Chains A and B, each alone.
Chain A
Amino acid sequence: MSGGGPPRKRNFKIEAFKNRVELDPKYAERTWKVLEHAIHEIYNHNASGLSFEELYRSAYNMVLHKYGEKLYDGLQSTMTWRLKEISKSIEAAQGGLFLEELNAKWMDHNKALQMIRDILMYMDRTYVPTSHRTPVHELGLNLWRDHIIRSPMIHSRLVNTLLDLIKGERMGEVINRGLMRSITKMLMDLGPAVYQDDFEKLFLDVSASFYSVESQEFIECCDCGNYLKKAERRLNEEMERVSHYLDAGSEAKITSVVEKEMIANHMHRLVHMENSGLVNMLVDDRYEDLGRMYSLFRRVPDGLSTIRDVMTSYLRETGKQLVMDPESLKDPVEFVQRLLNEKDKHDKIISVAFGNDKTFQNALNSSFEYFINLNNRSPEFISLYVDDKLRKGLKGATEEDVEVIMDKVMMLFRYLQEKDVFEKYYKQHLAKRLLSGKTVSDDAERSMIVKLKTECGYQFTSKLEGMFTDMKTSQDTMQDFYAKKSEELGDGPTLDVHILTTGSWPTQPSPPCNLPTEILTVCEKFRAYYLGTHNGRRLTWQTNMGTADIKATFGKGQKHELNVSTYQMCVLMLFNNADGLTYKDIERDTEIPASDLKRCLQSLACVKGKNVLRKEPMSKDISEDDTFYFNDKFTSKLVKVKIGTVVAQKESEPEKQETRQRVEEDRKPQIEAAIVRIMKSRRVLDHNSIVAEVTKQLQARFLPNPVVIKKRIESLIEREFLERDKVDRKLYRYLA
């Protein structure tokens, strides 16, 4: 671009650079000296004479002029030199001053590092990322770690000092927690790895051996409750220690060490400790100790299952003794009451001490289920307990109390495997209550039925409900009968008929006895009335279940009202026409079945205070040669005399057998129905699967016996509902 332009223009000549522009070669060295001096001054606490702006600009210039590497390396070596000096002074510190000195120097280093990083900020931003060097702050920490913490003279001394102090505190000494906190924080600041590798690991090892020794001492001299108290205190101490001067991440680790050494390693010994172990705690209701055991054991693997196993076996053992104890079998009400008490006791333990833990509740339930079903009279007894409560036990109790008792009974009911047996008994007992008018509260009865219904479904209670309906319709029918036929009846005895639907009631067919003519006429009128209003029905008299109130006048003219059974009434009525009758006469005239007649005569003649008949010869038992006379001399303080039939409240052995047999009989169609249901949907199934399915379907009501199921299958094959597979004999086929 030279010369030759139009003359008006000025000409410039631009020359190429002759020399490369070079910085003063000593510039970098000089600048670094300034910065190095500043770094020393900062470490010497002498920064007040330094100008930040100037230093910042110097560092900037060095980086700008490509002396970044020199700057960085210089920083590294200067800082290393300073830290070596510092490590000497820390090493020189004596005894207790060691930690103080370390902490003080750490504070100094931090502050200096901050200021150095301020000066070198530009380098940190530009040179460091492009050349992949460590940023200044991190570099300072790494150098501190390598030259101070991990220097051979300091490292072990530091760790031992820390561990000694912690040990001292465990033994009850007071230590400077603030200083401890600063030191552990320093280790954390240097990186979690430093804290973990250089301190925490050793801390955990030392703690483990400490607690291993201590727990051994404790367990030799303490009972279980006290040991647990001590363990709990140690655990809390360690957690407190972490919160005061260790990193929060250590909490889980140190607690797991304590848990392992103090609890897991001694778990079985603690639970089975003599005179103070788990079983004793359960027996004595020591809620506080149990709660502590639960909260400590839940921290260790298998802890709770250990408690649970011991509790379960204890429950099964005591429960088994309870239900097998011949003493307790004497009184069914007491028997059930004891079961309920046992349940209440352990429910309370679980809710107070075991935090309502579901697994414990399940263990309790399974234990009860186990031992209640050991005694096959349990269903009967539970029904009897309800019977007792509903007959008399509820007088004065509020509705809520009744509900509570019923709910508890239902809980026991749930454990029963043979629910159908319970149903049988309940039906019998309910029938007796209803017919004898002994039931105290209709509401309570109905609420019990509702509970059974929710538990077992409609089918289970439909017959029980039918009984209630019968009672109601009977009442209505009787009112109607008397309203329409009162003139016709005139002055005859009052009749109260309960019309029982066949099938709903536990009736046994019994041959009707000969009723006295007065009664018979009324009965016939009722029959005519009833069949007249209801077409196509049949009435059968269940004379074995009725009662009667009769008026009797005795020798000295005193009158009594006698409350007797229908049979007894029939017998007594005979004495209106005769003073003495032989057994044979009575049997012939009344046609009462022999066993019933004997019982009935026994209660009329042999019970003291109620002997309206006299028997010859005098003896306790009725024989066929006895003669009976009207007892003129009968006296009683009461106007109304209730003459009960001699019946055991509990079933006698043959009766029990009979009930049992009836239950078995009732099960047959149910099992068959279940088999047919299953086969209808599956078409082909092997024997074992059928047994499993049937058991599953029926277990809400009872536990079917596999042998019985097999018999039912055979019967179904006979009746051509099923057939065996021709190839595989184990398979059954459904025949539509």
Chain B
Amino acid sequence: VHSMDFDDTWHPATHPSGAVLPAVIALSEAFSQKKRISGLDLLLAFNVGIEVQGRLLHFSSEARNIPKRFHPPTVVGTMGSAAACAKLLALDQLKCKNALAVAASYAGAPLANAATQTKPLHVGNAAKHGLEAACLASLGVQGNRQILDMESGMGAFYSDYSPQSLPTLQSYPWLLDQQDVAIKRFPAHLGTHWVADAAASVRRKLVEHGSNLLPLDKIEKVVVKVPEVRYVNRPAPASEHEARHSFQFVACSALLDGGMSVASFAVENIHRAALRELLRKTRLEHPADNEPSFENLYCEVSVTLRDGCAFSGRCDTFYGHWRKPLRKEDLERKFQSNASQVLSAEAVEGIIETVYNLENVQDCSVLSAFLSGQSARALSEKLHL
């Protein structure tokens, strides 16, 4: 899920789904012989996993900004996965506590591995280790029952940590109700999505001048105004992982092509001459008012031509951000484009239908069946929609 940095992002910052969904799907498949898990069970467990992550992120002010020390999915994602699996396993309250305690001992990976091939392991491990923690707890392993309360517990991952009890279950206020996620339109760090939209808008002004091609040799310099985020500041990325974490790369790529897609990160495209040339003319600026937070940041791209003319474009809220969520058609289009790389058209449509109707699905193993490529005909009996 995290291999291309294409997964969802929340506020405070983490990639919530990738840490939870793989674990609950795997667990539901493991059950299918013994008992039936309904779509609603799956949906509830999933939301428990998301909610726990969100609540934990609120316990530290550090979490509001783009991270610097630990990669959030490895901290809260592991906990979310443990919570979701504990829910699906129907563990009693004591075992739920122990699942969380054990999970904490698996949590936390440093940010320096972002923009490398190892970063996707972070989300993989979060899901896997959370599941493992829940399994160990269900077998009876006990940890510190105050793991979320203590500074030497969950607090170890933050410099300031102020935990709070969750509201009572009576009309429970889910965080997802108040705060939506951002869905990415192309596979790169969320911060680059502002850059892409700003670059696309300035490109429109530039090509009005002439044909549909960017007047490359006329460009003197490109300035990209973004917040200071060290691990996304890469003037000349050499690998796809680095390119996905480079403000400069996305700015130039979007300027050249008018937009970003999965293909923008193909090896040929990363190394094309025109892009390299444009990268050499590009630099970043960090205005004081540009906060490193996915809630508040903005991007401004300005292009100065040799003749002195300057054009700029700004983006405050990119399309796909929680303030401007993707429309149903666009979300589906993203899904279809991704899924069709490996699944048949039938399976693709089957999954879309199943997920839209998840609350009413009697046996959620249909989801795994579609994922494993079984034909829809064989499954239509299972789909009691």
Do A and B pair up? The answer is no
Q: Using a CB–CB distance below 8 Å, which chain A residues touch chain B? A: none
Q: Which residues of B contact A (CB under 8 A)?
A: none
